[in-house]
Amino acid sequence: MERGVRDVSELPKAHLHLHFTGSMRPTTLLELADKYGVRLPDALTGGEPPKLRATDERGWFRFQRLYDAARACLRAPEDIQRLVREAAEEDLRDGSGWLEIQVDPTSYAPRLGGLSPALEIILDAVDTASRETGLGMRVLVAANRMRHPLDARTLARLAVRYADRGIVGFGLSNDERRGMARDFDRAFAIAREGGLLSVPHGGELTGPDSVRDCLDDLRAARIGHGVRAAEDPDLVRRLAARGVTCEVCPASNVALGVYEKPEDVPLRQLYEAGVPMALGADDPLLFGARLAAQYEIARRHHGFGDAELAELARQSIRASAAPDDVREKLLAGVDAWLAD
């Protein structure tokens, strides 16, 4: 088959960077807002993704305000169940065979009976959606850089306690310009000692130093985003040598103003340097592009042929926490897609 004609939505892949509220369908958000009488900002009701430029403080505040408004519409267990089920359906439509969805249960605790009950509701929803749809699903618990590091330790202990219920990793999200990675080193040590992957965000709104800090202070197994590492050749070589996967979200990078155009995202540079990547959608509710669209960006704007897209899919699968049998099945599916 000719280069670049295979359907990327049929390419088996793993989705390793998807935030909980940000995975919501826009139509679901509108229905839940109507259900609870929540007045949404106009940017969330126009049918088109809002224009977000989060590289300055004002832009990031606006992004967070929209995210918080959407999260305020998730108030009951059935809302959580709906969100997770629909996220699974969307991922399956895009060729995903494994999803690791990221959540800070602190944000949902006030409306769901507390921190532990909120996490249990989320884990039950993930387990049910996985069984009913056939999509392999697990959870990454993420601490918030804007909160005190002691809160992160509490979350890490909670995540470890529920590791046998489907939690596979511990992350750190929100504005990298606030909260040094080393302030959260103890929380990540607790998570690692409990068998969880270290998956902090870094190298998105700030430069290579953020990625380096995630490696040195948090012993990251994967980096959420990580694209700004491309500005430091030594760091790129280090990521490649250690096989640390960057969860790259091209549409998000452009929407938030990290890069001006899709072709500016350093996908080709990182790929050719041997840095493993797992393409992710980040927050499709706000950015308007789900998983398969990220592979289309690699194809259209970076010249990735089908063999290279297949290798990107393999990299996402290898970097996942999926059991060996699931990995083998997905990797075989990648080979079959390429051979078709």
Query: Which residues form the catalytic set?
Result: 204
How far is the C-alpha of 269 from the C-alpha of 280, rounded, in Å? 18
| Dihedral, CA of residue 103, residue 257, residue 32 and residue 15, to nearest 10 | -40
Contact 211, 181 (CB under 8 A): no
> Where on the phi/psi map is residue 198: left (φ > 0), alpha (ψ -120 to 50), or beta?
beta
Nearest 5°: phi and psi at 182? Answer: -65, -20
Total Cβ atoms within 10 A of residue 118: 22
The C-alpha angle with vertex 191 and arms to 258 and 241, in degrees rounded to 5, equals 55
The closest of 197, 12, 9 to 100, measured between CA atoms, is 197
Q: What is the DSSP string of 81-104?
A: HHHHHHHHHHHHHTTEEEEEEEE-
